[in-house]
Structure formats: structure tokens, C-alpha cells
Amino acid sequence: MAERSRDWARAVRGLLLDVSGVLYDSGAGGGVPIAGSAEAVRRIKASGLKLQLCTNETQASRENFVKKLRAMGFDISVAQVTAPAPAACRLLRERGLRPHLLVHDDLLPEFAEIDKTNPNCVVLGDAAENFTYANLNEAFRLLIGMEKPVLISLGKGRYYKETDGLKLDVGAYMKALEYACDVQAEVVGKPAKRFFESALAELGVPPEQAIMIGDDIVSDVGGAQQCGMRALQVRTGKYRPSDENHPEVKPDAYVNNLAEAVDIILQQL
């Protein structure tokens, strides 16, 4: 598709990039950069295009996340990262909610200023090893005991890729709690429209002048297109050939990797 038509690359002022599967593959030792991705980020910034990372990363605070990216060679600041935890904190404050947190230990600093006494909701993130039966059952008991249960999920991804293979993502556990408690989760991260709108506001570009680049056909591509953006799927990360036959979501283009997408976009400037 990228080879046949490049109309999708025209009139672009800003790029939203997914991170895991686009910039790097996570895994032991923090993960490894995808070939050409650090240089692609440098070229985006040098071109004058606006850049924002739009990630569902919930295994680290934004500060530690950016430190990891910089150690891999990515010139990124904390302000250039739109992530679910800060958005969830805003929501909690707006609605006077006190969360029971089922999240990764490294994400807890993001919620340090939030009142967590006598919880009246559950916040679910990619808790990894903290997704034990005991912890899930504790969240279940809290929700089932509420007159009006509130479940907030920092994403709804099915799986993601690490260097040693695919891993279950938060969406699988979210669905388990939804089913057990007969409740519908409020999703704060991708593909929620409000989350993409926040990322666009931080990017400072209207949707028709922005392109989202991701490896998740539903959360990245579908979510961005619902907000009026063009969206590309890279053939890295969690991409699978079957994505190209998805019954509902059709990317504006497929590209082999971020570097290829940047080559095409910069040629159109």
C-alpha cells in the first residue's frame, strides 16, 4: 500500500508515535531498539515536524520511561510523552475517586499524590508479575462490593511483544474483571478518543495534519482514525500478517518500519 500510493504522506505537520513495537522491543534489560528507529526520531526532529509519543506504557513512570529511551539513543523529553497514568490521575481528581491500584510497582510514583484511602474504584494497569490470582481476586471483591462499581483501565491491549515473544496485556485482565463484576471498564489509554485528543493537544496539531504510527491494528491505527487522523501500521513489534486482513480497521498505509515511514513523509515536505 505504501508502495502504490503516498497521498497519505502529504500535508503533515506532526507525528504521533507508538513506542513499544515501533521504537523498540521491550524485554530483559529494558529491551532493544528497532533498527533505524533512533535515527528516524532524529530526522523527524531535524525536519521541524512536531513529535509526540503516544504510549500505553504502564510499567514505569514517565521519568524512568524517558531515561530508558534516552539510554537507547532516543532524544526524547518527558513533555513529549502522552501516557495513561497522568491522564488517569486527572480523571480521579476530577471525579473525587480514590483508587485501589492493580498496577506495576514501578508505576506507583505516578499516583503518589492521589488519595487511596477507602477505595471507591479500581485502577488497572499492565501489572505484569503482580497479576496474581490473589491480587485479581482482591480487585474483584472490591468491585463486586460497590453499589456502582468503577473500573478504570490504563489501556485495553490484548498482547504486546517482548524480545522473548508475545505477552498478555492489560486488556485480558480487564475483560476478566468486566465479566466477573458485570461492569464496563473506562479505558484511559489507547484506543480511547479522549486519550488521542489529549495527545493531539500536546502535539499542537489538528487531526487532519497528524499521522499516527503504531504496531497495533486496533489500538493505534483504529483509535487514531476514529479521531480523524491518518494512521500507519509498521511491520514490526506485535504486527502479524493477519492484521492486513482485519475486518474493520484498514490503515492508510503499511510500512516495514518507522525508518521507512519517515523516509516517505520527509520526501513530501
pLDDT in tens, 34-50: 999 999 999 999 999 99
Task: Reply yes or no on whether the pLDDT at 255 is more than 70.
Answer: yes
CATH code, residues 11-56+190-267: 3.40.50.1000
Q: Which residue has the cell 468486566?
A: 178
Task: Reply yes or no on whether the pLDDT at 3 is more than 50.
Answer: no
Over residues 59-88, the mean pLDDT reads: 95
Task: Reply yes or no on whether the pLDDT at 118 is more than 60.
Answer: yes
Please state, for a pLDDT cut of 90, what percent of the chain lies above it.
Answer: 92
CB-CB contact of 185 with 178 (8 Å): yes
CB-CB contact of 207 with 12 (8 Å): no
Over residues 2-11, the mean pLDDT reads: 76
Pairing of strands 230-234, 253-255: parallel
Instruction: Enumerate the domain spans of the chain.
Output: 11-56+190-267, 87-187
Over residues 248-259, the mean pLDDT reads: 97
Q: pLDDT value at position 29?
A: 78
**Mean predicted lDDT score pLDDT of the chain:** 95
CATH assignment of 87-187, given 3.30.56.10, 3.40.366.10, 3.40.50.1000, 1.10.260.40?
A: 3.40.50.1000
- pTM score over 0.75: yes
Over residues 70-77, the mean pLDDT reads: 96
Q: pLDDT value at position 4?
A: 54
Return d(Cα 167, Cα 16) in angstroms, integer.
Answer: 24
pLDDT of 127-170, one tens digit each? 999 999 999 999 999 999 999 999 999 999 999 888 899 999 99
Task: Reply yes or no on whether the pLDDT at 82 is more than 50.
Answer: yes
Task: Reply yes or no on whether the pLDDT at 1 is more than 50.
Answer: no
Q: pLDDT value at position 2?
A: 43
183: left (phi over 0), alpha (psi -120 to 50) or beta: beta
Tell which residue, 44, 238, 61, 47, has the closest CA to residue 158.
238
Within this chain, domains 11-56+190-267 and 87-187 share the same CATH topology:
yes
Task: Reply yes or no on whether the pLDDT at 15 is more than 50.
Answer: yes
Outline where DSSP puts E strands in the chain: 14-17, 24-25, 32-33, 50-54, 81-82, 99-102, 121-124, 151-153, 159-162, 165-168, 186-187, 210-214, 230-234, 253-255
pLDDT of 90-102, one tens digit each? 999 999 999 999 9
